[in-house]
Amino acid sequence: MKVLQVVLDLGPHSTGVLVTVMRFNEALRALGHSVQILSFDRQDYTAEESRESRIVSVPALIPVLRRYALSPQAALGEYDSPVKSSDAVFIHALYGHHFTWAARRAMRWQKLSFVIPHGALTDFCLSRRTLIKKAWLASVHRFTEQHATMIFSSQYEREQALHYVRPARSTVMYWPATELCGTPHDGPRKPPQRPTLLLVGRLHPMKRTIETVRSFRRARLDGWRLCLAGLPSPEVTVDDLRQASGNDWEESVCYLGNLNRSDLSNWYRIANAVVLFSKGDNFSHAVAEALLAGCPAYVSEDVGMGELIRKYECGKVFSIRAEADLDDALASTVSDIATNGRTRSHDITAAARRELSFSTFTEKVGQVLGGAAFQLVGAGGTHI
């Protein structure tokens, strides 16, 4: 089967979306399918990247409204061929020209269609520019409600999405997590010199980065430190982090930068726990990788991985709606760590390996693809 993945952007700032697109690429190829990526972005890829991942870049976008940009070449049919020649189309992320362009063509030529929202249908995402987004959703409702299968990364994400859309079909599958290993630090875990909480992910209001720093400072946890790792964003810069940390900057609050995989693996192994008190994380690759390393996770109920954490007792899940809730969650986290430490590391790793393995993900992708193909044939669509 020929599969086309249509994405808005594969730049490094895409973080979780970029990782997931490539995981789908690997899974589809493992199932024996031919895969191509059509990326609507403002950068050209190197010849090596384009050849290795079969990426076709749609450049020269014209800004229309805020982050929305139009591609005249695509609109005029220059890139129709990849859709026509494909048997299935996977569209990643919403609210962009890439989606409306691909959806129209997938419907026109009766292609198997799959939509991966990447958290674009959570309450937090819809709390900003709400009217514009709801109008956009209304404009594509025929595609999402009659033609496409929506793939969610957690039950949390699916439940949030159903507030806004009624997809023709939907399914839930955890994204696969990569076990970070093969570093010089492998071997028995060495406790850190100081009790350490680790917050990994892009510095962003959605992840309550600044609020977590302020709550940590208010707690005045003697001897503890909070270490943050991840790319800054226009909304939360390193200077913002430094200002929020005050006199604790580089003392009890440390910014580690954007770590490579080897260094990140080491931090997962030595930290007492990972924390993520997000306002809306449909999955969280960082939490998934931490669990694979045996590191307990303490998260808000708005993190998709929370359901797995509850199921296997890999940490705790908190309801956070105000600063006081965040303070209580942090106090409970430290208390639980003081009582249990990382005594369940092996159990946590074993659970994560069962739920988040690449083989499990690949099997589910195959099932969803096969099921949708069967339904399309049954409905009188194109035979695959």
pLDDT at 279 over 90: yes
Do residues 371 and 284 share a domain?
A: no
Judged by average pLDDT, the poorest of 54-68, 85-99, 171-185, 303-317 is 54-68
Is position 190 within any domain? no
pLDDT greater at residue 115 or residue 48: 115
Do residues 251 and 333 share a domain?
A: yes
Do residues 320 and 361 share a domain?
A: no
| Residue located via tokens 């929202």 | 117
Q: How far apart are CA 183 and CA 266, in angstroms?
A: 8
pLDDT at 188 over 70: no
Residue 274: phi, psi to the nearest 5?
A: -100, 140
Do residues 142 and 74 share a domain?
A: yes
Q: Which residue from 207, 21, 2, 206 is spatially nearest to 98, judged by alpha carbons?
A: 21
Domain residues for the domain of 293 are 196-355
Is position 188 within any domain? no
Using one digit for the tens of pLDDT, what is the confidence trace for 349-379? 999 999 999 999 999 999 999 887 666 544 4
Is position 126 within any domain? yes
Confidence of residue 168 (pLDDT cuts 50, 70, 90): confident
Do residues 133 and 264 share a domain?
A: no
- CATH code, domain carrying 68: 3.40.50.2000
Judged by average pLDDT, the poorest of 63-67, 97-101, 217-221, 222-226 is 63-67
Helix 285-292 and helix 261-270, axial crossing angle in degrees, nearest 10? 60
SS3 string, the chain, reads CEEEEEECCCCHHHCHHHHHHHHHHHHHHHCCCEEEEEEECCCCCCHHHHHHHCEEEECCCEEEECCEEECHHHHCCCCHHHHHCCCEEEEECCCCHHHHHHHHHHHHCCCEEEEECCCCCCHHHHCCCHHHHHHHHHHCHHHHHHCCEEEECCHHHHHHHCCCCCCCEEEECCCCCCCCCCCCCCCCCCCCCCCEEEEECCCCHHHCHHHHHHHHHHHCCCCCEEEEECCCCCCCCHHHHHHHHHHHECCCEEECCCCCHHHHHHHHHHCCEEEECCCCECCCHHHHHHHHCCCCEEEECCECCHHHHHHHCCEEEECCCCHHHHHHHHHHHHHHHHHHCCCCHHHHHHHHHHHCCHHHHHHHHHHHHHHHHHHHHHCCCCCC
pLDDT at 133 over 50: yes
Q: How far apart are CA 111 and CA 1, in angstroms?
A: 12
How many beta carbons lie within 10 A of that of residue 258, not counting itself? 15
Do residues 168 and 240 share a domain?
A: no
Rounded to 5 degrees, what angle do the CA atoms 149, 153, 159 make? 75
Using one digit for the tens of pLDDT, what is the confidence trace for 82-124? 999 999 999 999 998 899 999 999 999 999 999 999 999 999 9
Is position 50 within any domain? yes
Amino acid at 73: Q
Do residues 142 and 257 share a domain?
A: no
pLDDT at 252 over 50: yes
Q: Which residue from 197, 193, 200 is spatially nearest to 217, judged by alpha carbons?
A: 197
Is position 384 within any domain? no
Is position 383 within any domain? no
User: What is the per-residue pLDDT for 183?
Assistant: 40
Q: Which residue from 354, 365, 359 is spatially nearest to 292, judged by alpha carbons?
A: 354
Which residues are bridge partners to 273 per DSSP? 197
Amino acid at 103: A
Using one digit for the tens of pLDDT, what is the confidence trace for 292-323? 999 999 999 999 999 999 999 999 999 999 99
Do residues 152 and 288 share a domain?
A: no
pLDDT at 382 over 70: no
User: What is the per-residue pLDDT for 69?
Assistant: 65
Computed from CA positions of residues 10, 13, 17, 22, in that sequence, does the dihedral angle turn out positive or negative?
positive
- Average of per-residue pLDDT across 5-13: 79
Is position 185 within any domain? no
Is position 313 within any domain? yes
Computed from CA positions of residues 114, 116, 122, 126, in that sequence, does the dihedral angle turn out positive or negative?
negative
Computed from CA positions of residues 207, 213, 215, 220, in that sequence, does the dihedral angle turn out positive or negative?
positive
pTM for this prediction:
0.86
Percent of the chain with pLDDT strictly greater than 90? 73
User: What is the per-residue pLDDT for 12?
Assistant: 61
- Average of per-residue pLDDT across 150-164: 96
User: What is the per-residue pLDDT for 166?
Assistant: 94
pLDDT greater at residue 73 or residue 246: 246
Do residues 257 and 345 share a domain?
A: yes
Do residues 214 and 123 share a domain?
A: no
Q: Which two tokens stand for residue 231?
A: 């790319």
Q: How far apart are CA 270 and CA 276, in angstroms?
A: 17
- Average of per-residue pLDDT across 188-215: 87
Do residues 158 and 210 share a domain?
A: no
Judged by average pLDDT, the poorest of 14-23, 125-134, 297-306 is 14-23
Q: What's the number of domains the chain is made of?
A: 2
Amino acid at 293: A
Confidence of residue 58 (pLDDT cuts 50, 70, 90): confident
Do residues 71 and 96 share a domain?
A: yes
